[in-house]
A and B are shown apart, each in its own frame.
Chain A
Amino acid sequence: MHHSKSPLYIIVLLAALLPSLTACHEQEEFSNDAMGNFDALWTAIDEHYTFFKYKNIDWDSVGNAYRARIAPGITSTELFDLCGDMLKELRDGHTNLISGSDVSRYWIWEQYPVNYDRRVIDENYLNFDYRNVSGIKYQILSNNFGYMYYGSFENGIGEGNLDNIFNYLASSDGLVIDVRSNGGGYLTNVETLVKRFITQKTKVGSLSHKTGPGHDDFSKPYDYYFTPDPKRIHYSKPVVVLCNRGSFSATNNFVSIMKHLPGVTIVGDTTGGGCGLPFTSELPNGWSVRFSAAVISDVDGQLTEFGVAPDVEVNITPDDKAHGRDTLLERAFQILASQRGGM
């Protein structure tokens, strides 16, 4: 039976070695009380937030200042407000604290002119007569310029639908793409739409992400490209993109890409920014926290966290507003008209 002891010995030896060789890493835990939840929030941001250096934020000082305001007996609502105020120090529209009763936010665009009135467009330019598919409202106006309004990049765009849209718009002399007050959505929809305005593989930006909990732990930027599908219908005439401060996140990304394409003019106000890719974490009490964890730079390597400046800055004038005119759209028509001769 000597041969039978050998495998038994090996098994016992392996079992003895296991505890010292495991990849079991201790996860830091926080208590489910005011201080524990505060520290969990502060730590999640400290280890994952991506713009500390870009925004020159001393997160340790911020944490110390707000931690000192946690008084014994602080209520859940008070703690939420305090934590929400701390997150506003990040000046980031992608950063929210989410409880069962409220969402903290830094929506600075709410304080800027809206520069968009849907009713004015529908009534005075579209005459309530427009096509609508994949969340895109479109029509050829009486001046033979095409108009399409895309209100949310959360609305999936079907390639077949886009073929129908651009087939219809093919006879127009130019196109206005209106993404005002479009708060963003899926970047894959940005790609789907942008690819209709390029004719070859095009660099559209670069991506970088945190590689560890340190504030300087970033990956090397990765350039990424969009490649058009030659079998799909493309639009090659002059294009004006209308944007406002409510053009945020994926819409900000769309505008930053379109701005660098030939034949495209950006008109309106600076976009709302938001070039971070938000991740989500949570606190012991179940509150969620969303924050920017990765960044998208534009094709020039610039961050657009605070927005994309338009080529032509235009705000709706009080006079136009009083007379039901959209100053941005009128300016877009002028730009397209000036380019019509060059077609």
Chain B
Amino acid sequence: MLLCCAATAGLAVPASAQSDTAAQVLRPVLHMFTLDVGHASLLDSYLTPIAYHGQNFRLGYEHFQATGFNPERFTRQLEVDVDYDHTHNPAGNHTMHSLMAEARWSMMHRWRDVALSGTQLMVGPMTQFRGGVIYNSNNSNNVVSAKIHWAVGVNAMAVWNTTLWGRQLSLRYEGSLPVAGAFFSPDYDEAYYEIYVGNHHGLAHFGWWGNRFDLTSYLTADFRLGGTTLRLGYRGRIETSWINHINTHIFTHALVIGIGGEFLSLSHGKKLKPAHRIISPQY
């Protein structure tokens, strides 16, 4: 089934850098495009002491593949997201917008059949960059709060591959947890004008769980329909920081829908042979 699905999806792609003919191993790539729609709760006391609530939208892309070395035991994953929050204060007369971009790369060790057949557990280091702005149009010199953050941490994934109504179903939980890094923050009441005229003192901070915590939980169900995979899921993000007496809470809960599939890249004229082993990142 895996061979069939991967091969069917991959034959349309002409590039060829990903097959290891010497080892007779082919490593399909899981490409997944997702849309999140959900609820956002924003608090940034640099802008306002009041929490705003509203909608969360996110466009995401996931690139997931077994590694070139030891592909049975290791996977690598790149996730790129752009998310936008449109929120209002409880009184309903002010609006706050958040626009963030995030890129996360991880390499995980994989254990198969951990608890029961068809399960996989993956754990490994990850690095994350996240940046953007929160904008409150009601404000004066504190109209914007810039967020720039880089961290290293842990990415973990638990997968259970099973079937439902004769279709392959992959249930997956993924947790991403930055542990330490660096992030930007102005001082308590420091205007961006002061930064503009050259005072860059104290803007970069070492981030750890004592001043910045960030956890993304991602629960998905991937249904295989021929060469296409449909994804339904939930994504929850908790991001908090406490630095320079500035309090930030960003909470989102969203329904995820996605479409993608596993794709193989084969050279022109090259065909799948029974001797080839296909190692999926998720199946």
Contact = CB atoms under 8 A, between A and B. Distances in A.
B188 A209 contact: yes
A228 to B, nearest CB: 15
B66 interface: no
A50 B48 CA distance: 17
A35 B43 CA distance: 23
A27 B154 contact: no
A70 B48 CA distance: 25
Contacts of B209: 18, 21-23
A161 B247 CA distance: 43
B210 A21 contact: yes
Contacts of A8: 114, 121
Contact of A207 (B89, B138, B194): B194
Given A212-B245, A284-B91, A28 B240 contact: no
Interface string A1-23: 10110011011001000100111
B194 A27 contact: no
A294 B194 contact: yes
B218 to A, nearest CB: 15
A290 interface: yes
A7 B119 CA distance: 14
Interface string B120-143: 010100000000000010111111
Contact of A22 (B91, B92, B113, B240): B240
Interface stretch (A216-224, A262-270, A332-340): A216-224
A4 B189 CA distance: 50
Interface stretch (A56-64, A128-136, A173-181, A274-282): A274-282
B142 A280 contact: yes
Contacts of A286: 89-94
A172 B121 CA distance: 80
B40 to A, nearest CB: 16
B198 A224 contact: yes
Interface string B41-59: 0010100111100000000
Nearest to A30: B49
Contacts of B213: 18, 21-24
B48 A4 contact: no
A245 interface: no
Contacts of B138: 280, 282, 288
Contacts of A169: none
A79 B242 CA distance: 33
Nearest to A7: B123
Quick one: which of A22, A23, A294 has the most chain B CB within 10 A? A23
Contacts of A21: 209-210, 213
Given A209-B189, A279-B139, A7 B245 contact: no
A277 B189 CA distance: 10
B49 A4 contact: no
A265 B41 CA distance: 53
Contacts of A82: none
Interface in A192-222: 207, 209-213, 217, 219, 222
Contacts, number: 146
Contacts of B165: none
Contacts of A209: 187-191, 194
Given A23-B211, A286-B92, A286-B94, A294 B191 contact: yes
B249 A217 contact: no
Nearest to A217: B188
B121 A23 contact: no
B51 A27 contact: yes
Contact of A23 (B50, B123, B193, B210): B210
B191 A281 contact: no
A182 B18 CA distance: 66
Interface string B236-264: 00001110110101000000000000000
A219 B190 contact: yes
B91 to A, nearest CB: 3
Given A209-B194, A282-B94, A27 B43 contact: yes
B189 A294 contact: yes
A217 B249 CA distance: 24
Contacts of A48: 189
B76 to A, nearest CB: 17
Interface in A222-245: 222, 224-225
Contacts of A50: 189
A40 B48 CA distance: 11
B85 to A, nearest CB: 18
B29 interface: no
Contact of A7 (B121, B142, B199, B201): B121
Contacts of A121: none
B278 interface: no
13 contacts: A18-B215, A23-B240, A23-B242, A24-B242, A27-B49, A212-B245, A222-B197, A222-B198, A284-B90, A286-B89, A286-B93, A294-B189, A294-B194
The 6 closest A-B pairs by CB, nearest first: A286-B91, A210-B189, A21-B209, A280-B139, A293-B189, A25-B242
Given A3-B111, A280-B139, 14 more contacts: A18-B215, A21-B213, A23-B209, A23-B211, A188-B196, A207-B193, A209-B191, A219-B187, A222-B198, A279-B139, A280-B142, A282-B89, A286-B90, A293-B141
